[in-house]
């Protein structure tokens, strides 16, 4: 289970926000029976059933104090934009627990590859029907004529050679350090204060508790910034007011007959690893069905 904490004004709290977080932050002794009522009272002055953006959604859910402490500064750092400019859907990805549950996910089954994702991908690619080509730059004008169908997981705007302009992305800069002992008591700590330049610190050994790490530990500082043309894009930026540039690319992509856009970059969406894997499996099953039935493979496999 992926357990996290958040650093707010010199103090560490369980995160995502749960009963323990709320009690510690407000110096209360709430229980599972009355914490929801307490939080509704905090959020009541801001309540709306149709929040227009991240800030409105957060205020309507947890109120001013928790929003200011845990979300406003972190969102500014992560996205480089004010929370009012970020869609409400980004906030809705973050669970709020009314129990002492600091698990970052609500799934019944949780885990990761025992030997890491690198080994997983290597085994997937080690198949007699797969040819791997690396170190070559993709161009649809060069590659697409040689195949019956293309599944494209790169940036959507790059596929069309940025004909309408570049879509906005955030990327990450990592700084690694080797320390003695244990640096923090969980894998991820979010740093929510805006005057701290990094967004979070990862201590990697917490993700592999079945392995032994005597003496030393590796930590990584994450810094978020705007993606320039030569950097690797990580997070697509959707704005609360819409993105006309994105709509242009989607309209063109929907006209494709021999190309399907998949993954975070190909569909320009902010989705978790489990969702990306699930959609890849759905795309594979749907493609097999289309080939068998002689129907057209769709350009997208999501709602």
- The answer to whether the beta carbons of residues 91 and 50 sit under 8 Å apart is no
Residues 57, 128 within the same domain: no
Residues 27, 174 within the same domain: no
- The answer to whether the beta carbons of residues 143 and 133 sit under 8 Å apart is no
Give the range of the structural domain holding residue 178, as residue numbers without chain letter. 169-226
State the CB neighbour count (10 A cutoff) for residue 285: 11
Tell me if 2 is assigned to some domain. Answer: no
- Can you give the three-state secondary structure of 80-135, one letter per residue? CCCHHHCCHHHHHCCCCCCCCCCECCCCCCCCCCCCCHHHHHHHHHCCCCCCCCCC
The count of structural domains within the chain is 3
Residues 215, 255 within the same domain: no
pLDDT at residue 143, rounded to an integer: 62
pLDDT at residue 39, rounded to an integer: 95
Tell me how far apart the 2 most distant CA atoms of the chain are, in Å: 66
Cα–Cα distance measured from residue 201 to residue 175, given in angstroms and rounded to the nearest whole number: 10
Tell me if 162 is assigned to some domain. Answer: yes
Assign residue 132 the CATH number of its domain: 3.40.50.720
State the CB neighbour count (10 A cutoff) for residue 192: 23
Cα–Cα distance measured from residue 111 to residue 1, given in angstroms and rounded to the nearest whole number: 7
Tell me if 283 is assigned to some domain. Answer: yes
How much is the pTM?
A: 0.89
Give the confidence band of 243 by pLDDT, cuts at 50, 70, 90: confident
Query: What is the CB-side half-sphere exposure of residue 166 using CA atoms within 13 A?
Result: 10
DSSP string, 244-271: HHHHHHHHHHTT-SSEEE-HHHHHT---
Tell me if 138 is assigned to some domain. Answer: yes
Tell me if 99 is assigned to some domain. Answer: no
3-state helix, strand, coil in the chain (%, to 5): 40, 15, 45
Residues 151, 280 within the same domain: yes
Q: Percent of the chain scored above 70 by pLDDT? A: 98
Tell me if 301 is assigned to some domain. Answer: no
Residues 246, 161 within the same domain: yes
Q: In the numeric block, which tokens belong to residue 195? A: 């005057």
Closest CA to 227 of 166, 159, 271: 166
Continuous segment of H or E residues that includes residue 7:
strand 4-8
Residues 156, 253 within the same domain: yes
Q: In the numeric block, which tokens belong to residue 66? A: 């928790």
Phi and psi based region of residue 157 (left: phi greater than 0; alpha: psi -120 to 50; beta: remaining): alpha
Average pLDDT of 205-210?
83
Residues 87, 27 within the same domain: yes
Angle at 269 between CA 89 and CA 244, to 5 degrees: 85
Residues 158, 175 within the same domain: no
Cα–Cα distance measured from residue 137 to residue 146, given in angstroms and rounded to the nearest whole number: 16
Continuous segment of H or E residues that includes residue 6:
strand 4-8
Give the confidence band of 49 by pLDDT, cuts at 50, 70, 90: confident
226, 254, 270 — which closes off a domain? 226
Tell me if 193 is assigned to some domain. Answer: yes
Give the confidence band of 144 by pLDDT, cuts at 50, 70, 90: low
Tell me if 101 is assigned to some domain. Answer: no
Residues 51, 188 within the same domain: no
pLDDT at residue 55, rounded to an integer: 97
pLDDT at residue 233, rounded to an integer: 92
Residues 128, 215 within the same domain: no
DSSP 8-state class, residue 199: S
Average pLDDT of 126-132?
92
Residues 176, 156 within the same domain: no
State the residue for tokens 């059933």: 49
Residues 284, 222 within the same domain: no
Q: In the numeric block, which tokens belong to residue 39? A: 């939080």
């Amino acid at each position: 289970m992926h357990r996290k904490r958040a650093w707010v004004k010199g103090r560490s709290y369980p995160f995502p926000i749960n009963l323990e977080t709320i009690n510690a932050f407000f110096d209360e002794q709430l229980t599972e029976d009355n914490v929801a009522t307490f939080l509704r009272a905090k959020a009541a002055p801001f309540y709306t059933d149709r929040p227009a953006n991240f800030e409105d959604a957060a205020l309507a859910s947890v109120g001013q104090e928790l929003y200011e402490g845990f979300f406003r500064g972190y969102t500014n750092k992560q996205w480089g934009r004010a929370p009012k400019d970020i869609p409400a859907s980004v906030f809705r990805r973050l669970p709020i627990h009314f129990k002492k549950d600091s698990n970052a996910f609500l799934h019944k089954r949780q885990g990761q590859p025992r030997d890491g994702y690198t080994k997983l991908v290597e085994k997937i690619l080690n198949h007699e029907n797969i040819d791997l080509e690396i170190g070559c730059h993709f161009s649809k004008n060069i590659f697409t004529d040689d195949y019956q169908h293309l599944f494209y997981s790169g940036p959507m705007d790059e596929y069309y050679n940025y004909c309408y302009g570049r879509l906005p992305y955030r990327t990450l800069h990592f700084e690694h350090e080797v320390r003695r002992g244990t640096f923090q008591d969980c894998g991820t700590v979010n740093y929510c204060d805006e005057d701290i330049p990094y967004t979070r610190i990862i201590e990697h050994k917490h993700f592999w508790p079945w392995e032994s790490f005597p003496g030393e530990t590796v930590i990584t500082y994450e810094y978020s910034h705007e993606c320039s043309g030569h950097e690797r894009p990580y997070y697509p930026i959707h704005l609360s007011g819409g993105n006309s540039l994105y709509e242009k690319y989607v309209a063109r992509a929907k006209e494709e007959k021999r190309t399907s856009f998949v993954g975070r970059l190909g569909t320009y969406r902010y989705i978790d690893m489990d969702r990306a894997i699930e959609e890849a499996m759905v795309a594979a099953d749907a493609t097999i069905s289309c080939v068998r039935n002689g129907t057209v493979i769709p350009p997208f496999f999501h709602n």
